Amino acid sequence: MVNEANAGNQFSASLSPTIGSFDGSGSVSNSVDIKLKQQIKQEQSNYGVQLNLNSNFLASDYKNLSSIQARAFGFFENECGTVQIGNNFGGHYLFQADDFKNPNFSRSINFLELNIKDTISTKVYSPDLYIYSPGLWSDQLHLQNRFGEGSRTANKISYISPSKYNLIFAASFIPDTDGFIRIYHTYNAGRNTAFKNIIQLTLGYRTQVNDLDLRVAFGVEGGKRKNMQNNNLLFLPGQNLPINVKNQENLKSWDLSAQAAYMGFNLGFSYGNNYKSGQYYIDNRKDGTYWNLGISYSILGSSVSLSHFNSQNINGDLQKNSLTAAYHIKKGIHLFTELAQIELLNKATTPSKSSKFNCFLVGSKISF
C-alpha cells in the first residue's frame, strides 16, 4: 500500500551517488541495488524466487562505513493471498507509512549513523539509544538506515492477504533477528538488542473518494529477547551499579500511521509506542514514543516535501526536520537535494548531553 518490496521486472538496478556536508564535514555516499526475479505464472497462481543485492559506501572526512548484503526469498501468490519465505521485508514494512520524505532519496539518517558514536560519552555504543524512524521497534533503526541489522533483513515467513472491503492483513514471523545473508560488513552495532520469535501483525485500510486517496495502517509486535546479559543485569554507560532489566525480556510495540493524498498533495501522520522494548533501563520512567508529521507536493516530475520527526526515549530524545526536493529529468534519471537539521539529547550521561547536526546533500538516482 505504501512501500513496494518486490522488483516489478525480472531484472532491475539503481545507482544513487550523493555528495554533501554533514555537521561541517565533507561527505560522499553511493548505493547500488540490484534485483533479480524469476517468476512462473499460471492461471490462478504465481510463484518464484527473488534475489536482492545491495552495496553501500558512506564516508566523511574522518570516518567511513561500507557493506555488501544479499537477500533471497521465495514467494507464492494466488487468490487467497501471498506467502513469502526468506530475507524479504516484513508485512508491516510494506504497509507502514514512511516519514513522508521520498524513501528513494532521503539520506540524512545514514549520515547521522556515521556520526552517532560522537554523541555517546563512553565507548559503549547503543543502537537503541534513540528512536530514529517510524515503525515497529524492530524496524525503526533500519527503515532508512542501510547499515543496520534489523528485522528487515532477517529470515522470516510472511503472509499478506488479498484486498477485501478495502482491508489488507499481514503477518510475519521472525525466528531470529541475526539470521540473514551477509557477504561483508565493516560496521557492527552490537548484539545486545537481538530478539527471537518476533511476531508482527498489521491491518491496512485504503479507500479512494473521487480524487482523495486515504491510507491507514495499524501494527503490533511481540517477541523475546535472545540474550540477557549478566543474569538480567546490565551496566549503564558511566555507571558502576547494575540496573535490573528483567522485564525487557519481552519485546512489544505498536504504531498507527495515516496518509491522505489529493491533487498532488500528500499529508501524513504517524504515532508509535515502544513501551520499554530494547532500552537499557526502566527506572519507572516513561515508555519510548515517537510522532511524525509531513507534507509533500508533486507536479510535472518535480516534488518537494517537508517533515518533522520527534521521539522520546528513556535514554535519548531526537528531533529531525527535513526538506527534500527531487526532479525527474527523464525515465530512470532523478536529481535531488536534501536539507536536514537533527538534534539529539543523550540522557544516559550525567548531565544530559545535547548535540545538533546540520546536513546538506545533493545527489542523483539512475535506474534501469
Q: Please report, as a single letter, which amino acid is at residue 325.
A: A
Class of domain 11-367: mainly beta
Across-strand partners of 58? 29, 65
Q: Output the nine-digit C-alpha cell for 340.
A: 536536514
Across-strand partners of 236? none
* CA nearest to 257, candidates 325, 312, 202, 212: 202
Which ranges of 70-107 would DSSP assign to H, the alpha helix? 91-95
Domain extents in the chain: 11-367
| Separation CA 149–CA 368 (nearest Å) | 27
| Segment (H or E) for 249 | none
pLDDT tens sequence for the chain (368 residues): 333 444 456 899 999 999 999 888 888 989 898 999 998 988 889 999 999 888 888 888 877 777 787 888 999 999 999 999 988 877 777 676 555 555 567 778 777 777 665 544 443 444 456 777 777 777 665 444 555 555 666 788 999 999 888 999 999 998 877 654 444 333 334 444 567 888 999 999 999 999 999 989 999 988 877 665 443 344 444 444 444 444 455 678 898 989 899 999 999 898 998 876 655 444 555 678 889 898 999 998 899 999 899 988 777 788 999 999 999 998 889 999 999 999 988 776 778 788 888 999 999 999 98
pTM exceeding the 0.85 threshold for the entire prediction: no
10 Å Cβ neighbour count for 365? 21
